[in-house]
Structure 1
């Protein structure tokens, strides 16, 4: 069986994701779709709207055949590390190809861009370091170095615009695949309709996940987003809010985050992953003053630290993820199976002897620093959603979800 891999967060699953899964399968002429999906905390450093089990069901009901979890240490990392972890898992799962959405929509400019950067790699890396030392964030430093060395001397149609979020991730996917010598063939699809950060536009079926979340939190109702998601997803979201009382967001999690910061104090915050350059003192000061998450971010945000970078720090503070933890998890060491369709189950049977990493369906039977930490994070997520009645131990109690 031939599988195409995709990297997803599904926060939440929407009609654009439905198109992505179906089109990736068709374009690569694959028999099934394998998704590597972030767990309960996401790449932009925020809690997922609903947990990974609910999002797995959404995926399996809408065109995905196997869902593996991208472990916490990669799911909440920068674009390069996020992409590297995801590509290693898709490669280990035996995918013949991988497919990502991009603003560019064509794979050739990505290939050209990789080749051009490789030809000036040393100069490129030095320029990035120079810009970072000047106080520029890493994403902006990368794009400025790229513009100076590559885009300024090339036809814009030949290379990729790395100021756009999906193009950036796509570039890192291809970079990661090249670094491990993967035989997977890359493919890309043009992003449909709304841009990454666009608000929803009613009367159209496509909206970004960011726009959908914003619409929900502003209206406190799922009804305005119904047109943008499959019916099964709409029903899942309604069931979630009835059973759990709230969706995941930093506004909801902030009281527990604030407690964690105040209890730890600046000296302990300095050991948390991504907390650098004395910012622990500012974080502590902000927690003492701010009664809401928005007030907290208004105090901490600066030109040097992007909103996303700060949120990643806060995610690690909330979960207790330290530099020591990160050092103990240098590379993915398992394929954590969250769910499968009948086709997915057949693929696992066929590929059982050829998987490059062990497939883990029950955590009780597997010992790993990465798996153990991702499991503890699931409990912390449950506390954030509903601290009075949290759903604890789900990673050990729920077997992989099966859909016919």
Structure 2
């Protein structure tokens, strides 16, 4: 059996994810063990998850994932480097995963490895280009993109390592523009940081709609919709405070064409029960917190510089005559700038919602994941879990009370699991549910 690791959010699971599983089967055959590490109730790219982690893990096993593990919240809500480092280290710690497959926009994955090597080794010429980019006020992502492009253009073509069929092809100018390309680079860097113990990263060509394309109608109809487009459609269907008579049957039917039946059914149930998660629900909570806490507290949070905190506080005090559901988007639009991307703002507001400090995140990155939390498995996954118990370098958590058993492992362990528990309780409260008893939730067995 070939064991493949996957890193995902499945927010929610859609046909594009099924297409990736099909690509993996085409490459490796059907005798596979698929282990996915997935963000929990809060995500790296979108804040509040549209479905809770248990539903999303269950849908993943329905699609053919054998074993679903949770990426601790401190990693799952960080930037791409933090997210990738946590996920790759966690999969490596299972003792089973030697190969990780991930999707990317590029048709030339070899250059992702080239970019990763440059970022890890940082030649002096590249450092100069990077310093220039930062002096020009660019954010880190844009600075790296410009620096690598400038560096690659400044060296002779023959100096670039290429296979024989690529030796006349220039470094792709759009390589660093796709969000999945960037994540793939971070996965490669994280794997290389583990040396010989690091898993191999295999890049699969991403098919379907661009990740940030949020259109589920018009020209996008019939394509493999992006998760962003799916969430946008779901908000139009279930998020607006509208009457049931305004239900858009046409939009729902179009959306269902891009979803497995089991996902559509779960989403419909969550939507009708008003338990679906949207960032618009966070807006009033975030605004109330900004108005209540001192700036000295904000600057301790992950992603909150003094300048960023000042912009948020100023915006919070200026927001008037807005419906509650409009607060989130107004905050994002007002704060986003050349220095603070929308993605950075979303991650930082997530840190505010969960009370995640920069010290906690830095410590998590330094020490890595402290446990392996199991969310769901099928028959094959049960076999993989049994093997993992023999080989794992980390404690395996299959029920909430296991955390208490390992509580003696120290501060870092406690910070990570307490943040996970807190994140789940806050999500439930923001979606109109009670805080819940985390010790009652059981791993899904398919």
The normalised TM-score by structure 2 is: 0.84
Report the Cα offset of residue 132 of structure 1: 2.5
2:389 corresponds in structure 1 to: 352
The match for 2:162 is: none
Larger Cα Rg: Structure 1 or Structure 2?
2
The answer for unaligned runs of 5 or more in structure 1 is: none
Partner of 1:75: 76
**Residue 287 (structure 1) aligns with:** 316
Distance change >3 Å, CA 102–CA 170, structure 1 → 2: same
Deviation at 1:356, TM superposition (A): 2.1
Give deviations 1:169-217, integer Å, cap 9, x for gaps.
1111111101112342221211112111222345525111111112232
Q: Do residues 169 (structure 1) and 180 (structure 2) align?
A: no
Flag the 1:61–1:105 CA change in 2: closer, same or farther, 3 A. farther
Pairing of 1:48-197 with structure 2 (within 5 A): 48-93=49-94, 94-115=96-117, 120-150=122-152, 153=155, 154=157, 156=169, 161-181=175-195, 182-197=197-212
Number of positions where the alignment pairs a residue of Structure 1 with one of Structure 2: 399
**Cα RMSD over matched residues?**
2.2
1:231-250 alignment runs, 5 A limit: 231-243=261-273, 245-250=274-279
- Report what 1:365 is aligned to: 402
Q: 1:126 Cα deviation (Å)?
A: 5.0
What secondary structure is seen at the aligned counterpart in 2 of 1:196? coil
**Cα shift readout 1:118-143 (whole Å, capped 9, x = no counterpart):** 56444434533442343211110110
Q: Is the 8 A contact 1:56 1:338 kept in 2?
A: yes
CA contact (8 A) 2:120 2:189 kept: no
CA distance in 1, matches of 2:3, 2:148: 33
Query: For 2:390, what is the secondary structure of its paired residue?
Result: coil
| Match 1:270 to one of 277, 299, 309 | 299
Task: Note the C-alpha offset of 1:106.
Answer: 4.7
Residues 68 and 149 of structure 1: CA distance in aligned 2, closer, same or farther (over 3 Å): same
Determine if the alignment matches structure 1 residue 10 to structure 2 residue 39: no
Q: Which blocks of at least 5 consecutive residues in structure 2 are unaligned? A: 158-167, 239-247, 408-412
Correspondences of 1:295-310 after superposition (within 5 Å): 295-310=330-345
Contact 1:112-1:158 within 8 A present in 2 as well: no
Distance, in Å, in 1 between the alignment partners of 2:384 and 2:328 is: 44
After TM superposition, the score normalised by the length of structure 1 is: 0.92
SS of 1:337's equivalent? strand
Q: Is the 8 A contact 1:11 1:48 kept in 2?
A: yes
| Distance 1:2-1:215 versus aligned 2 partners, 3 A rule | same
**Structure 1 position 337 matched with structure 2 position 339:** no
Please state whether the residue corresponding to 1:186 is helix, strand or coil.
strand
